[in-house]
Structure 1
Amino acid sequence: MSAADEILDVVDENDRVVGRARRGDVYARGLCHRVVFVRVRDARGRFFVHRRTPGKLVYPSRYDMFVGGVVGAGESYDDAALREAGEELGVSGLPRPEFRFSFLFDDGGGRRWWSAVYEVRWAGAVRPEAEEVEWHGFLTGAELERRLGDWDWVPDGLAAYERLRAWERERG
């Protein structure tokens, strides 16, 4: 099955399921759906950053500071976070990512999705999927901040990152 054929829950502005549709149709029609973002830190506290492959359906060839993806039909956010992070990192035995918060992402151009943000630590090696990740590395917080103005980032990941930084500041 191709990514475009994956079945997703369609949700309303309150994150209630109102139907189901193929992923390709969800994107083509601008239907609201669910997505997870997982920030991955290594044993030294550095952040996993990667560049998406040119074949991605959404935001091809852009950088992201999260792993993650769509939540499948009937799947929980928590299960999707664990599945997506494990798949994109190419690891098994990943601890369950810790939920931080959720928000409704809207790019103003017809792309909207409910976004659940998580964090996980992984001390082992990563083997990202070649179909998903063109380049990857672990950056310090300072390195990541320096790249924000230089690299072409996915807008939803950037929105999640900004909200996560504010969430962290609120908690000290």
Structure 2
Amino acid sequence: MSNPGEELLDVVDEHDRVLRVAPRSEIYRDGLTHRCAMVLVRDEEGRIFTHRRTPTKLFAPGAYDLFVGGVVGTGESYADAAVREAEEELGVRGIRTEPLFRFLFRYQDSPGAWFCDVHQARWTGPVAPQVEEVAWHGWLTEAEVAERLGGAGGWEFVPDGREAYRRYLAHRG
């Protein structure tokens, strides 16, 4: 779709039940609850694909992220959205994702909330990240991620990705 603000998404309630369909621009403007799929991608050495979002992104422009992903389109499953978004952002085909957990993310004091369906994947081939989505990318070790997530001097990460990674670490034990 040429205008991402007009992409149609499902508006859901606090139990992730579909209430209606609305354009992304209305969902963002009115802080309506919607769905998102997120994929933590590791390479053959176990490093995490990390990227900086382009300054044109509607949410958290220019921030870093440990996940590839995005909104779930109307009628689309979380699993299908995870694969679609991972393939688009990484510029690959044939990725397989594994669902891990889902949580409702509330953004600070705003009315906006979205369900984050967190997946993981391994990718051992080359990547060609989508230039409209990814301004920079690299593969970071968990120690490098921890350093960059740290306080002073740390990178600015997208808030839902920061929370998803915290939950990911707790989930795997």
Task: State the partner residue of 2:71.
Answer: 70
What do residues 84-127 of structure 1 show as CA deviations (whole Å, max 9, x unaligned)?
000000001112x0000000000132220011000000000011
Q: Distance in 1 between matches of 2:71 and 2:92?
A: 19
Is 1:106 the counterpart of 2:110? The answer is no
Q: Distance in 2 between matches of 1:60 and 1:123?
A: 28
Task: State the partner residue of 1:24.
Answer: 25
Task: Give identity over the alignment, percent.
Answer: 55
Count of aligned pairs between the two proteins = 168
TM-score, length-normalised on structure 2? 0.96
Q: Distance in 1 between matches of 2:101 and 2:36?
A: 12
- SS at 1:57's partner residue? coil
- SS at 2:36's partner residue? strand
Is 1:132 the counterpart of 2:127? The answer is no
Amino acid at match of 2:130: E
TM-score, length-normalised on structure 1? 0.96
Root-mean-square deviation over aligned CA pairs: 0.6
Task: State the partner residue of 1:153.
Answer: 157
Task: State the partner residue of 1:163.
Answer: 167
Task: State the partner residue of 2:144.
Answer: 143
- SS at 1:68's partner residue? strand
Q: Distance in 2 between matches of 1:67 and 1:112?
A: 19
Deviation at 1:137, TM superposition (A): 0.1
Task: State the partner residue of 1:39.
Answer: 40
Q: Distance in 2 between matches of 1:47 and 1:153?
A: 14
Deviation at 1:136, TM superposition (A): 0.2
Structure 2 unaligned regions, length at least 5:
none
Q: Distance in 2 between matches of 1:24 and 1:67?
A: 21
What do residues 28-73 of structure 1 show as CA deviations (whole Å, max 9, x unaligned)?
1100000011000001100000000000000000000000000000
Q: Distance in 2 between matches of 1:125 and 1:110?
A: 39
Structure 1 unaligned regions, length at least 5:
none
- SS at 2:51's partner residue? strand
Judge conservation of contact 2:30–2:112 (CA < 8 Å) in 1.
no
Q: Distance in 1 between matches of 2:124 and 2:134?
A: 19
